[in-house]
Structure 1
Amino acid sequence: MADAQTARLCTQIIHSQFGPLTANVASVLLTRGRLTLSHLVRFTNLRPRTVRASVLVLVQHNVLWHAQSEDEGEVLEVNIEECLLRLRFGRFVWQAGQLFGDEGAEIVQLILDHGKLCPPDIVSVLSHDDQKAVIVYSQVLHALVTAGYLKPSTILSHFSPRDKRIRYEAEEKAKIVGFPTAKELREAKETAEARLKREEEEAEKVGLKRKAKEQKGPRSAKRRKDVVDPEVYFRVNCDRFNIHIRNALIVKAAKERYNDGAALVLKTTLKVTETKQKDVSDVRTEAVSVSNIAVSLSDQEDLASGLILKNKNPSNTQCIKDYLGLLACADNPTPAGRAAAFLSHASSKVQVEFETICKRLRRRVLESVTRERHGAMGVRILRLLLDSGKMDEKQISKVVMMPNNAVRPLLANMSAQSLISTQEVAKSTDRNPARMFYLWHVDLQKAYSVILGDLYKTLFNIGARREAEQEEPMVKAVLEKRERSDVSQDEAALMSRMELDMIKEWEAKQEKLTVLEMRVEESVFILRDLGVFGINED
Structure 2
Amino acid sequence: MSQVKVDLCKQILEQFYGNIVASVGVFLLKNKASTLGRITQHTSLEQKQVKQALCSLIQQNIVVFSQSRPGVIEYTPLPDAVAMRLRYPHYIHCAKMLFGDAAELLIEEMLLQSQTDLNSTIVKVTKKLNESLVSSGSGITEVSQNIVRDKVMTLIKARLIRRCESIDRDKDDKAVDIIATTDPESLFDLPSILELESAVGSKRHLPQNSEVSAKRVKLETGLSVISQTAQTGQNEGSVYWCVNVHQFHHHFRDQAIIAVVARHIDQQAAEVIRIMLRLSETRTVPTSPESVQLSLTEIFNAQPKDKNMQKNTMDQYLKCLSENCSSFVTKIGESGGGLYQINFMRAMKAICVSQIETIVLERFGSKGLRMFRVLLAEKQVEHKQVDERAMLPPKEAKEILFKMFNENFVTMTELSKTPDHVPARTLYFFNVNLIQVSRMLLEKCYKAAANVMIRRQKCMSDNKRLLDKQDRVEAIISNLVAEGAVEQKEEIEQMVTPSERAQLQKVGEATKMLELSEIQLDNTIFILETFLSYMVQPIPLSKKKDILGDV
TM-score normalised per structure 2? 0.74
1:204 is aligned to 187
Residue of structure 1 aligned with 2:317, choices 318, 323, 330: 323
Are the aligned partners of 2:36 and 2:74 in contact in 1 as well (CA < 8 Å)?
A: yes
Instruction: Give the equivalent residue in structure 2 for 1:238.
Output: 245
For 2:73, the equivalent position in structure 1 comes to 74
CA distance in 2 between partners of 1:531 and 1:125 (Å): 39
Change (3 A) 1:137 1:75: same
After superposition, give the CA deviation of every residue in 1:400-444 in whole Å (9 maximum; x if it has no partner). Answer: 344443333322221221111122334344556675433222222
* Contact kept? 1:116, 1:153, Cα under 8 Å: yes
The match for 2:223 is none
Question: Unaligned stretches of 5+ in structure 2?
Answer: 131-141, 169-178, 195-234, 482-488, 537-543
Q: Which residue of 2 aligns with 1:96?
A: 95
- Determine if the alignment matches structure 1 residue 136 to structure 2 residue 147: yes
Alignment match of 2:326 (pick from 336, 339, 353): 339
Q: For 1:328, what is the secondary structure of its paired residue?
A: helix
- Residue 144 of structure 2 aligns to which amino acid in structure 1? A
Structure 2 contact 411–430 (Cα < 8 Å) conserved:
yes
- Could you say what secondary structure the match of 2:165 adopts? coil
Structure 2 CA distance for partners of 1:255 and 1:432, relative to 1, 3 Å: same
- Is 2:353 the counterpart of 1:363? yes
Q: Which amino acid aligns with 1:388?
A: E
Supply the distance in 2 between the matched residues of 1:271 and 1:15 (Cα, whole angstroms): 39
Amino acid at match of 2:409: L
Q: Deviations over 1:189-208 (max 9, x none)?
A: xxxxxxx9973627736765
| Aligned residue number for residue 164 of structure 2 | 153
Residue aligning to 1:29: 28
Q: Report what 1:221 is aligned to.
A: none
- Rounded Cα–Cα distance in structure 2 between residues aligned with 1:205 and 1:262: 32
Q: What is the 5 A alignment of 1:100-499?
A: 100-127=99-126, 133-155=144-166, 199=182, 201=184, 204=187, 208=191, 230-277=237-284, 279=286, 281-290=288-297, 292-293=299-300, 296-299=303-306, 316-329=310-323, 337=324, 339-342=326-329, 344=331, 347-430=337-420, 436-473=426-463, 476-482=465-471, 485-489=475-479, 493=490, 494-496=492-494, 498=498, 499=500
**Partner SS, residue 182 of structure 2:** helix
Q: Equivalent residue for 1:175?
A: none
**Residue 529 (str. 1) matches residue 518 (str. 2):** no
Are the counterparts in 1 of residues 371 and 387 from structure 2 also a CA contact under 8 Å? no
Q: Given that residues 206 and 232 in structure 1 are in contact (C-alpha distance below 8 angstroms), is that contact kept between their aligned partners in structure 2?
A: no
SS at match of 1:74: strand
C-alpha spacing 1:441/1:139, structure 2 compared with 1 (3 Å) = same
- Name the stretch that deviates more: 341-350 or 514-523: 341-350
Distance 1:522 1:205, change over 3 A: closer
Cα distance, 1:295–1:41 mapped onto 2, change above 3 Å:
closer
Secondary structure of 1:471's counterpart equals: helix
Distance in 2 of aligned mates of 1:296 and 1:125: 38
Report how many residues are paired.
462
Give 2:37's aligned amino acid. Answer: S
CA contact (8 A) 1:285 1:353 kept: no
Give the drift of 1:455.
Answer: 1.1
The DSSP-based 3-state class of the residue aligned with 2:414 is strand
Runs of 4+ displaced beyond 6 Å = 129-132
State the AA in 1 paired with 2:146: I
CA RMSD of aligned residues (A): 3.4
Moved more, 514-523 or 7-16: 514-523
1:50-83 superposed Cα distances (whole Å, 9 cap, x missing partner): 1111111011101113355469943333211111
State the alpha-carbon separation in 2 of the partners of residues 477 and 63 from structure 1: 35
Native 8 Å contact 1:35 1:77 kept in 2: yes
Cross-structure match for 1:513: 514
- Summarize deviations over 1:4-47 as a string: whole Å, max 9, x none: 22111111111111112211222222334433222222222222
- Aligned residue for 1:246, secondary structure, equals helix
Report the CA distance shift for 1:284/1:203 in structure 2 as closer, same or farther (over 3 A).
closer
Q: Given that residues 243 and 280 in structure 1 are in contact (C-alpha distance below 8 angstroms), is that contact kept between their aligned partners in structure 2?
A: no
Matched, 1:50 2:65: no
Amino acid at match of 2:326: A
- TM-score, with structure 1 as normaliser: 0.76
* Greater Cα offset, 445-454 or 247-256: 247-256
Q: Choose 122-131 or 424-433, whichever is displaced more.
A: 122-131
Code of the aligned partner of 1:120: N
Unaligned regions of 5+ residues in structure 1, if any? 158-195, 212-227, 304-314, 330-336
Deviates more, 1:527-536 or 1:46-55: 527-536
